Chain A
Amino acid sequence: MLEQFFQAVFKADFIFAVIRITAPILFAALAAVIAEKAGVVNIGLEGIMMITALFGFLFAYWTQSWIIGVLGAVLTGGLLGLVMGFFSLKLKTDIILAGIAINMLGAGGTIFLLNMFTGLRGNTGNLVTPNILIPTVKIPLIDRIPVVGEMLSGHAVLTYCAFIFVFLVWLLLYKTPIGLNIRAVGENPDAASSVGVSVLGIKYVAIALSGALAGLGGAFMSMYYSQGWNSGMVAGRGFIALAAQAMGRGEPVGAMLSSLLFGLAQALRTKASGLQGVSSFLVSLIPYVATVLGLVIYSISLKRKARKHAIKAVKP
């Protein structure tokens, strides 16, 4: 049995699957990273992904252009981020509650909107055409290399984008003025405002960017991964991304590694579910348990650092 399992795992197509499964989680995890750096907890990622998945698909369907679909999803995501920002920064709704509201919209509101726009219920079914789907690309040289080519070449454009975005988000946060401002605002808003940086403005920018990135994840889901939109398709990826952010210490590369862990576990689950005697459900547990353990280890290390003045560290 184990042998079978290993045979299945040590195949190029397994790694291919891991990468494919990781991509949408990675987009959302990067979204969480940007928001968190500015001191905003974006628990609405799940809902933003659902809504942008729908709108990405609809835009693509209306124009028969996957590119416009992706752009539409990004735009929708950014707008949803601004809505969350408006309610939390302006009307002072708790940011967590604002996020939960967005998730409600994502859960049922999308079904409603799909019906309103297309008359369909629950999924986009026969609306899918090849024009709408995000194309895959073969990478010239790598494609030729045996095994590696099979793993790395032939992914969707957005899959590559997800990994490129790890670099871009890192670049944004650590190499650009706006990134510097985001980090300063998240860590010490007083210091930022004392040199004329607009704290509110930066938070709006960060949460809009966060929404836009989640939009890419949403577009990926409906326009490639599931080949169409359906009501259960995000399935907790937004929450997983939040955990990946926490486990990855809030850094882009860390978030990528944690996302890969989730991707790996999910791919294992797919493989394992075909095997006798292995519970795919228990395999599914791995990423969640790993997250909790990761958080525990992280918290212990933080606590050790803070020990010296711990008693005084009562919340203000």
Chain B
Amino acid sequence: MEHNDLALDMRGITKIYPNVIAANREVDFSVKPGEIHALIGENGAGKSTLMKILFGMERPTEGEIFVDGQAVSFSSPTDAIAKGIGMVHQHFMLVPSLTVAENIVLGMAPRKSGFLIDYREALELTRASAEKFNLHVEPSARVADIATGMKQKVEILKALVRGARVLILDEPTAVLTSQETAGLFQELKNLKEQGFTIIFISHKLNEVKELTDRITIMRAGKSVGVYDTGAVSEEEISRRMVGRDVILSVEKEAVAPGEVVLQVQGLRYVNEWGKQALDGVTFSVRSGEIVGVAGVEGNGQRELVDILFGLRLPESGTARVGGVKLTGLPQARIRSLGVSYVPEDRMTLGIAAAASVEENVISDRFQGKRFNHGPLFRMKELHKESDRLILDYSILCKTRSQEVGMLSGGNIQKVVVAREFSSDPVLIIADQPTRGIDVGATELIRKRLIDLSRAGAAVLLVSADLNEVMELSDSLIVFYEGKIAGYFDNGEWDDVMMGEYMLGLKHQSDEEIGRASHA
């Protein structure tokens, strides 16, 4: 097909980041005018990077972009907007204290008598375009006061009034209730009828099936197939999406799990967007086993981990470690129960970047008797401890007093892991423990995790890396929409099956899921 017939054509897009991770490798992506085109793939498959390139937020290392047959080159979103491309970000780019109309005209406010905003015009513009595009909003309401669904419409309108003909929607339904989702779909279909082209990024197969005309599937930075939505089954999509490239082989002995360490009972949580992020989650983790939590991101894993480490309070339900209720406890108490936590966001929670390696590895134990003599630190003991950990976890640093922020990503993660794994934990919560780090560090961290579990620790492993959870876990929990969709403890799982549960195509019976609690 020639460029001329396409609304959008991206050819051979490659994006390599400075840390030599190729986020996109020779991706071809094209969209016909007036279609709704789904772009799907696991987290880290490269969808966001591709769309950032399309919206001028990143520049491709290689490749060409054609809009309506014309070659274009964007150096900022402003350029992309000028070429008729609009994007609705997952985190809304709205100013809460401003009204809907003010948000819509921000940066292009209509004027009257020279220097004043013509508010009547702004309201009129908002109202008129809302009507024209069939997106109902309250022009004079403050954004802080309106529901999430309406905020999203405001975002769509913002793009449309700036002349967008191609709309990129980044996981628009992730923050919506099911009614709001139904409304959004109707509106998107209307826009399609008016001739707009829509790129719809999603993980949810039922939505993709319902809404879109064609699908591009991405995996590991590449496009792995383009289909007409009607001509492909959900199972096929799922298989393509989560197919494995590398089979890791991790050696681990079989276990006979001990007694229950972590008992999670009926957890419910409504997140900041008013969404039921956790909807009655019950399971347990026993000593000596690794329980993996699989699932597409945004299905409640984040909230679960935060609650377990006292960073959020659940609406109802409890989590107990060794019989002691965790919820509402300060982190110091949680740690004193023998819980340790490898956080997903290592730069924010895991380390103090401007402090030394030593200061970072002792942050959970510096108050202990061993390291203090009266009011003073026993510096010798501190040095001994940090040197031991640096050696044990092969942290590549010049000295223990080197700034952690100067180390590589893998070594920073080793610092975090060295601290969290070495405090004789009874429960380890590992959240994306190997994301974005080199192979060597990954291998070391996985091996240590298995060693610790075989030595009797209970491990809860949350990871978006399906290979990782499948290889490391002794039993597996799959999250879907804030609920447990499946529990597997026989070690017989494969990616196809996982994909079906992760994407909501299959769901176990309550009885089968109930086994997860070992009650």
- Residues of A near any B CB (own CB < 8 A): 171, 175-177, 180-181, 183-184, 187-188, 190-192, 194-197, 309, 311-312, 314, 316
Determine if A192 and B107 form an interchain contact, defined as CB atoms under 8 angstroms apart: yes
Determine if B106 and A184 form an interchain contact, defined as CB atoms under 8 angstroms apart: yes
CA distance A200 to B116 in the complex (A): 22
A248, chain B: closest CB distance, angstroms: 16
Chain B residues near A187: list those with CB within 8 A: 95-98
Chain B residues near A171: list those with CB within 8 A: 116
Given A175-B117, A197-B107: A312 in contact with B102 (beta carbons within 8 A): no
Q: Determine which of A180, A188, A190, A191 lies in contact with B109 in the assembled complex, contact meaning CB atoms within 8 Å.
A: A180
CA distance A316 to B347 in the complex (A): 10
Chain B residues near A176: list those with CB within 8 A: 115-117
CA distance A175 to B102 in the complex (A): 10
CA distance A181 to B105 in the complex (A): 10
Point out which of A184, A187, A195 has the most chain B C-beta atoms below 10 A from its C-beta.
A195
Chain B residues near A183: list those with CB within 8 A: 95, 97-98
Determine if B312 and A311 form an interchain contact, defined as CB atoms under 8 angstroms apart: yes
CA distance A126 to B303 in the complex (A): 71
Interface flag for B310 (CB, 8 Å): yes
Determine if A191 and B78 form an interchain contact, defined as CB atoms under 8 angstroms apart: no
Given A175-B117, A176-B116, A311-B312: A195 in contact with B95 (beta carbons within 8 A): no
Interface flag for B59 (CB, 8 Å): no
B157, chain A: closest CB distance, angstroms: 12
Q: Give 15 pairs: A residue, B residue, CB < 8 Å, sorted on A.
A: A171-B116, A177-B111, A180-B117, A183-B97, A187-B96, A188-B95, A191-B93, A191-B106, A192-B95, A194-B89, A194-B93, A195-B81, A195-B107, A197-B106, A312-B312
- Residues of B near any A CB (own CB < 8 A): 76-78, 81, 89, 92-98, 102-103, 105-109, 111, 115-117, 119, 158, 162, 272, 306, 310-313, 348
CA distance A69 to B95 in the complex (A): 40
Extra inter-chain contacts (14) besides given A177-B115, A195-B107, A311-B311, CB under 8 Å: A175-B119, A177-B111, A180-B98, A183-B95, A183-B98, A184-B98, A184-B106, A187-B96, A191-B92, A191-B93, A194-B77, A194-B93, A195-B93, A197-B107
CA distance A314 to B311 in the complex (A): 9
Chain B residues near A194: list those with CB within 8 A: 77, 89, 93
B18, chain A: closest CB distance, angstroms: 22
Determine if B95 and A181 form an interchain contact, defined as CB atoms under 8 angstroms apart: no
A252, chain B: closest CB distance, angstroms: 15
CA distance A309 to B272 in the complex (A): 7
Determine if B311 and A180 form an interchain contact, defined as CB atoms under 8 angstroms apart: no
Given A183-B98, A191-B94: A175 in contact with B106 (beta carbons within 8 A): no
Chain A residues near B158: list those with CB within 8 A: 195
Q: Of all chain B residues, which has the CB nearest A196?
A: B78
Chain B residues near A188: list those with CB within 8 A: 93-96
B128, chain A: closest CB distance, angstroms: 19
CA distance A171 to B115 in the complex (A): 10
Chain B residues near A190: list those with CB within 8 A: 93
B143, chain A: closest CB distance, angstroms: 10
Chain B residues near A175: list those with CB within 8 A: 116-117, 119
Determine if B106 and A309 form an interchain contact, defined as CB atoms under 8 angstroms apart: no
Q: Determine which of B109, B162, B312 lies in contact with A309 in the assembled complex, contact meaning CB atoms within 8 Å.
A: B312
Determine if B116 and A191 form an interchain contact, defined as CB atoms under 8 angstroms apart: no
B229, chain A: closest CB distance, angstroms: 30
Chain A residues near B94: list those with CB within 8 A: 188, 191
Chain A residues near B77: list those with CB within 8 A: 194, 196
CA distance A177 to B115 in the complex (A): 7
Chain B residues near A195: list those with CB within 8 A: 81, 93, 106-108, 158, 162
